[in-house]
Amino acid sequence: MRIFPILLLGCGVCLCAQQKPLEEGVTVPLKALSPSAAAETVPPDTVVLQVGETKITAKQLDALIDVYPVNQQLYARGPGKQQFTDALVRMLVLAEEARKRKLDQTEKYREQLRFSETNLLAQTLATALPIEMTVDDAALHKYFDEHRCEFSTWKARHIVVRFKGSPLAIRPGEGDLSEEEALAKAREIRSKLEKGADFAMLAREESDDPSTAASGGDIGQVAHGQIMPSFEDALCKMNAGEISEPVKMPTGYDVIQMLSVQTKDFAPLKAQLDLRYRNEAVKKFVDDLVAKTTVVKNPAYYGAPVLPAADAKTPATQKP
């Protein structure tokens, strides 16, 4: 009899189609990744499964489960424990048959084994890094302040002055303004607003955006990611009641008035902020490692480098 090796590479145990995934937005605490209460009562060196001549201890089984994503770990340690083990048994039986056929001695298998070992080693570090990281409240508050707009919603209205090349149609009786002419007109409109002109009336008279002009330029309530980045950047810098300088958009120049701003509180977001902070820190760590490493891609295989595509022209207040 032999003890099962703790390193399982190229494991064929598939949980993906055997469980219900966690709902989007659910944050799993780190303590939820620990073995189930029943498993904790079994000493780690206790053999919990034997398949033919292969013995697997509680510690080795737990190490295998740790390879999988969080929601799959919860399933394998909970309601799917029996199903997971049945799939593991089938994998071990197939693997033993493959050894009898000497498939583990082929060059193809050895190449895949080397890659699997490298991948598992990388994943082990990637999993350990965010858990080992120390993150205090001061760091999270600073992160929250830097990303406050991502947790905000705004009510605003705007007046659009189109210029040549805009996807908006030219209004009857209006000319096809150059960018310079449109900017000058937008500044003139802002000046009138600063002197007390009625925003809704000016929007109905002057705005080239047919979807909002009739409603006085009202764009309703919007949140992070729902509008064009340049429009959102302008909103992020504004307080209620303020009127922006003309903002260049694909449709023309926008003059924006902020009606109200609502930002979520820190406390209910703390767990989400902690997770994001850790993930972004790990990404930066890996990016820095890659930047310090010489990487050469043979153009004969990969082709010429592909440049980023130019941004498509889209309506000012909506993302594609």
Q: How confident is the model at residue 105 (pLDDT cuts 50, 70, 90)?
A: very high
What per-residue string of b and e applies to 285-317 under the rule 16 or more CB within 10 Å gives b? Answer: eeeeeeeeeeeeeeeeeeeeeeeeeeeeeebbb
The residue whose two tokens read 């050469």 is 296
Average confidence (pLDDT) over 192-196:
96
Task: Give first-to-last CA distance, the chain, whole Å.
Answer: 61
pLDDT reading at 185 higher than 50: yes
Looking at the chain, the whole-number percentage of residues with pLDDT higher than 70 is 83
**Cα torsion angle, 146, 150, 154, 157, sign:** positive
pLDDT reading at 312 higher than 90: no
The residue whose two tokens read 């944050």 is 27
Average confidence (pLDDT) over 174-184:
96
CA distance 227 to 232: 6
Per-residue pLDDT tens digits for 88-102: 999 999 999 999 999
Domains recognised in the chain with CATH numbers? 2-23+30-133 (no CATH), 151-263 (3.10.50.40)
- By CB neighbour count within 10 A (0-12 exposed, 13-18 middle, 19+ buried), where does 46 fall? exposed
Per-residue pLDDT tens digits for 121-136: 998 899 899 999 999 9
Residue 317 pLDDT: 53
More confident residue, 173 or 318: 173
The residue whose two tokens read 């924006």 is 256
Express the helix, strand and coil content of the chain in percent, nearest 5 each.
50, 15, 40
Per-residue pLDDT tens digits for 35-56: 455 555 789 999 999 999 999 9
Average confidence (pLDDT) over 244-254:
96
Residue 39 pLDDT: 56
Per-residue pLDDT tens digits for 78-88: 999 999 999 99
Record the pTM.
Answer: 0.65
